[in-house]
């Protein structure tokens, strides 16, 4: 089934590559959210990400602040005029995020593997006009990724995008999640109008890999980047090794070699 798509059409965002979504893995405290968002805003970024509900592999880790953190995202939107984005994994998450005016939602890699979970998120989105991004499922099955996108699309969401965050692999590797670039390339072939974002943070798992992964994604023609950025990465409550400061992010993005088709005349 071909997806029935409309452009993401994000207010204040032009269509030059890359569209950058940046912010911490998790919204930890109101001060951390506002400090990070202010620095990203000053660096010129316009879309702020932060996890509110964090899927953790093992119990006992930081599982997110839940709805307590939603007013912090609303402050980012109102005071800094940034768009906000967060992960939703259940229908309750969707309703809470919509109530607080979150601008963009994404479905995480652990949710995208489960058609029942994706369907319940899709059902909660029915009738809404909000951009939704779907991460690849943790296992390398393009049909499962495409199926998750279709479920959301069939619920009436046309402003849809995909996030490539790499795939679990059983052997040790330099990557936290194997990129398997051919999979997002194939997805783009199947759905040419679908914007694809690269998430170098969850592919690489460490700071040093962010720049080369961003460049590779741009070389493959991907549309955007979603990068974890924290005001004090070493003290992050989740995914500390892969987060970069807003200043580092700016220097990585500014050094990317990007050919925009519109520049070719
Ligand atoms: C995240 O974006 O912080 C996250 C949990 O990502 P993923 O679903 O790709 O593991
Ligand atoms: Mn993370």
pLDDT of amino acid 58: 85
| pLDDT beyond 80 at 264 | no
13-56 pLDDT, tens digit per residue, is: 988 899 999 999 999 999 999 999 999 999 999 999 999 999 88
Closest alpha carbon to 137 in 178, 116, 109, 162:
109
Q: Chain-wide mean pLDDT for the chain? A: 96
Query: Using CA atoms in the order 194, 137, 220, 216, what is the torsion angle rounded to 10 degrees?
Result: 140
pLDDT of amino acid 60: 86
CA distance 118 to 108: 10
Share of the chain above pLDDT 70, in %: 98
pLDDT band at 171 (very low <50, low <70, confident <90, very high): confident
Between the CA of 202 and the centroid of ligand 2 the distance, in Å, is: 6
CATH topology of domain 19-256: TIM Barrel (3.20.20)
Helix H or strand E encompassing 185: helix 182-190
Q: Where are the domains of the chain?
A: 19-256
Question: Residues lining ligand 1, CB < 6 A?
Answer: 25, 51, 55, 108-110, 135, 165, 202
User: Which atom of ligand 1 approaches the CA of 55 most closely?
Assistant: 5
| pLDDT beyond 80 at 116 | yes
CA distance 187 to 232: 35
E-state strands within 38-193: 47-49, 83-87, 104-107, 132-135, 160-164
CA distance 79 to 8: 23
User: Which atom of ligand 1 approaches the CA of 109 most closely?
Assistant: 8
Q: What pTM does this model have?
A: 0.97
Which residue has the CA at smallest separation from atom 9 of ligand 1? 109
Ligand 1 mutation target, pool 85, 107, 108, most atoms within 8 A of CB: 108
């Amino acid at each position: 089934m071909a997806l029935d798509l409309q452009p993401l059409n994000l207010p204040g965002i032009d269509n030059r590559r890359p569209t950058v979504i940046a912010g911490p893995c998790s919204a930890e405290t109101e001060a951390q959210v506002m400090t990070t968002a202010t620095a990203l805003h000053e660096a010129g970024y316009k879309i702020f990400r932060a996890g509110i509900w964090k899927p953790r592999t093992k119990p006992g880790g930081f599982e997110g602040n839940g709805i307590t953190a939603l007013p912090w995202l609303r402050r980012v939107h109102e005071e800094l005029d940034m768009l906000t984005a967060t992960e939703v994994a259940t229908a309750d998450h969707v309703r809470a995020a919509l109530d607080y005016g979150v601008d963009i939602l994404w479905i995480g890699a652990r949710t995208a593997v489960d058609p029942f979970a994706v369907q319940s998120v899709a059902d909660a989105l029915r009738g809404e006009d909000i951009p939704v991004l779907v991460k690849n499922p943790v296992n390398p099955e393009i049909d499962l990724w495409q199926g998750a996108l279709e479920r959301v699309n069939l619920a009436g969401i046309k402003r849809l995008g995909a996030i490539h965050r790499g795939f679990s692999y059983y052997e040790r590797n330099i990557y936290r999640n194997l990129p398997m670039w051919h999979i997002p390339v194939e997805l783009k072939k199947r759905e040419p109008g679908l914007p694809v974002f690269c998430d170098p943070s969850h592919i690489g798992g460490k700071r040093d890999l962010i720049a080369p992964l961003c460049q590779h994604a741009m070389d493959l023609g991907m549309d955007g980047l979603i990068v974890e950025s924290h005001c004090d990465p070493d003290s992050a409550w989740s995914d500390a090794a892969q987060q970069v400061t807003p200043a580092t992010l700016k220097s990585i993005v500014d050094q990317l070699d990007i050919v925009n088709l519109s520049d070719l005349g």
